[in-house]
Chains A and B, each alone.
Chain A
Amino acid sequence: GAGVSQSPSNKVTEKGKDVELRCDPISGHTALYWYRQSLGQGLEFLIYFQGNSAPDKSGLPSDRFSAERTGGSVSTLTIQRTQQEDSAVYLCASRSPGVLVGYTFGSGTRLTVV
């Protein structure tokens, strides 16, 4: 596609429910990142996928968070047993092969846990 596509754009869920957020990166971009942006905070790194390598999960805040990337393309971020502190904008970004190319971000999914 022309850009990074994320769905849904908005999600309201009840505390304790599981949610899945989807990211469709730019075709040909081998690197994919998930970040979280909370109100008044900078973007927080969550997880990184590069080709067929094992993902870097070092930014995931708890074991309730997981992500997968199927076929080197679409990625899904899953949050189990959501808590109110999970409310944030979840941003996905992809990057073409090449070390110093700026990421291209999607528009994000705004998650509200009530």
Chain B
Amino acid sequence: EDQVTQSPEALRLQEGESSSLNCSYTVSGLRGLFWYRQDPGKGPEFLFTLYSAGEEKEKERLKATLTKKESFLHITAPKPEDSATYLCAVQPMGGNNRLAFGKGNQVVVIP
């Protein structure tokens, strides 16, 4: 069974204090790994797709990396508007392209 574990569950950061979120996964063949951002009362918003170990993608203050067992989402010099829940999901090979999600990392950035 495909599993995704995210840590830490919750994180409070001072504005400007860089940190990393972890997503550990087990999957029977990885087609892709996804990061989403979710704000309260909203649906998840797509951030990145990573396909193979060693790949990195960046968007503003966010940088996602991928190894064969885990992915990291690095937040550099965060701002209060980066406060959100970050969701990690894996898409296994084959099947119907459904995603298996972790429970999320809840990030609060304090001004």
A interface residue numbers (CB < 8 A to B): 4, 31, 33, 35, 40-43, 45, 48, 50, 56, 59, 91, 93, 95, 99-108
Contact = CB atoms under 8 A, between A and B. Distances in A.
Contact of A42 (B51, B91, B97, B102): B102
B44 A41 contact: no
14 contacts: A41-B103, A42-B4, A45-B100, A48-B96, A48-B97, A48-B98, A100-B31, A100-B32, A100-B51, A101-B49, A102-B34, A102-B36, A103-B99, A108-B42
B43 A50 contact: no
- Of the four ranges (under 10, 10 to 19, 20 to 34, 35 or more), the interface on chain B belongs to 20 to 34
Interface of B: 4, 31-32, 34, 36, 41-46, 49, 51, 87, 89, 91, 96-104
Output the residue of A4, A99, A101, A102 with the most chain B CB within 10 A: A102
A99 B34 CA distance: 13
